[in-house]
Structure 1
Amino acid sequence: MSALQVTVENFEQEVLKSEVPVIVDFWASWCGPCQALLPVIEELAGEADGFKVVKVNIDDSAELAKKYRVMSVPTLIVFKNGEAVKRSVGVIPKDEIIELINA
């Protein structure tokens, strides 16, 4: 399973109302580091157990990037119970992403 593409239209349902923690990858197609992180994000999405992984293209959903103060990409934000609880900017290894989710 690949990471679900989320937009302004389904962000509330898929992220804020999620029963499980959600890691949101704010990314852009022109961003080299985002492309480097993509295989890790897709791998995590396929392995997700007790959490889910979604992606927000900042060019298509600029208002979400603005709302969550995403200043550079890639930015990963973990949401639990509708609240942003953890954030990481830049490319990080898979184990550090898992630590974000479990923190």
Structure 2
Amino acid sequence: MQKLIYPLLFLISFNISAQVSKLGPQGFYLELKKYSNPQLLDIRSSDLFEKGHLKKAYNIDLASEEFESLLLQYYDVNKPLFIYCQTGKSSLQSEKYFEEMGYKDIKILVGGFEKWTVSSKPYVSSQNTTRPLAYMTIQNLNETIKTNEWVLVDFYADWCGPCKKMEPILQKIKSENKNLTLLKIDSDKNASIVEKYEVEEIPTFLIFHNGKQVWRRTGLLTENEIKSYLF
């Protein structure tokens, strides 16, 4: 009986020994400031990392086959491990994984990089621009939809050819209809909103009337096709 109990007690004590802190942007920021060289891990893809990331962060894509070996190579299991992703979802889902890897003090950025930027926290970028990243929270989107009679939402990306062709059409519709709010969502920079509305193709267009979605289409559309669902 004792041979069965001892391993069980060991596993229980191991799980308890891991301290996991789930912190919002301000709490995460204050904890980082306590260390001159924090173990800060960005688990997003390399292209998202290049567009913008926290200062002193090291990027290892969670989807990479080399993730585990690189993690143990660069990050000491006995020191605090700061983790963030794009929306916070991947970090939270990986919590147990990092515990099993032996990390004893894990600090997760709740809301991820999106929440960090909309909270006006500092970040660095390899891009030759000082423009703020175009992130929007679901709360801000919902508020816009509720407080405007007609809202046309355009899910786009900078690299999307059809999106660029639709831009002058959208702007023309907006200029001719003062009761219409045009809301553009960069799909590459607003993963949580893309997930919420299950956007799988771009461009994707949604029309809301008095807070309710009344229309949805994807791809290239004519001016008349969009206007026929307005007013």
Normalising TM by the smaller chain, what interval?
A: 0.7 to 0.9
Cross-structure match for 1:12: 142
CA–CA distance in structure 1, aligned partners of residues 217 and 205 of structure 2: 5
| Structure 1: gaps of 5 or more residues | none
Work out which of the residue numbers 175, 180, 185 in structure 2 matches 1:46.
175
Provide the residue aligned with 1:85 in structure 2.
214
Amino acid across the alignment from 1:11: L
Structure 1 residue identity aligned to 2:141: F
Distance 2:223 2:135 in 1: 21
Which residue matches 2:225? 96
Q: Secondary structure at the match of 2:163?
A: helix
AA partner of residue 90 (structure 1):
G
Task: Flag the structure with more relative contact order, 1 or 2, with Cα contacts below 8 A and sequence separation at least 6.
Answer: 1
Please identify runs of 4+ aligned residues in structure 1 that moved more than 3 A.
none
CA contact (8 A) 2:148 2:211 kept: no
Contact kept, 8 Å, 2:152 with 2:205, in 1: the verdict is yes
State the Cα distance separating 1:6 from its structure 2 match.
7.5
Tell me the distance in 2 between the aligned counterparts of 1:29 and 1:81.
29
- What is the aligned residue count? 97
Structure number with larger C-alpha Rg: 2
* Alpha-carbon separation, structure 2, partners of 1:36 and 1:44: 14
Task: Please tell me whether residue 31 in structure 1 is matched to residue 160 in structure 2.
Answer: yes
Please tell me the residue identity of whatever aligns with 2:221: I
TM-score normalised by the chain length of structure 2: 0.39
- Letter of the structure 1 residue corresponding to residue 183 of structure 2: V
Say whether the 8 Å CA contact 1:6–1:54 is kept in structure 2: no
Contact kept? 2:151, 2:207, Cα under 8 Å: yes
Structure 1 position 92, deviation (Å): 0.4
- Are 2:149 and 2:211, in contact at CA under 8 Å, matched by a contact in 1? no
Structure 1-normalised TM-score? 0.83
Which amino acid in 2 is paired with 1:25?
A: D
Q: Is contact 1:73-1:89 (8 Å) kept? A: yes
For structure 2, the 5+ residue unaligned runs are: 1-133
The CA RMSD over aligned residues, in Å, is 1.8
**Alpha carbons of 1:22 and 1:88: their partners in 2 closer, same or farther (altered >3 Å)?**
same
Answer whether contact 1:6 1:55 (CA < 8 A) is retained.
Answer: no
Using the TM superposition, give the Cα deviation of residue 82 of structure 1 relative to its aligned residue in structure 2, in angstroms.
2.0
Q: Aligned partners of 1:88, 1:47: CA distance in 2, in Å?
A: 21
Would the alpha carbon gap of residues 51 and 34 (structure 1) be closer, same or farther in structure 2, given more than 3 Å must change? same
How far residue 99 of structure 1 moved from its aligned partner, in angstroms, is: 1.0
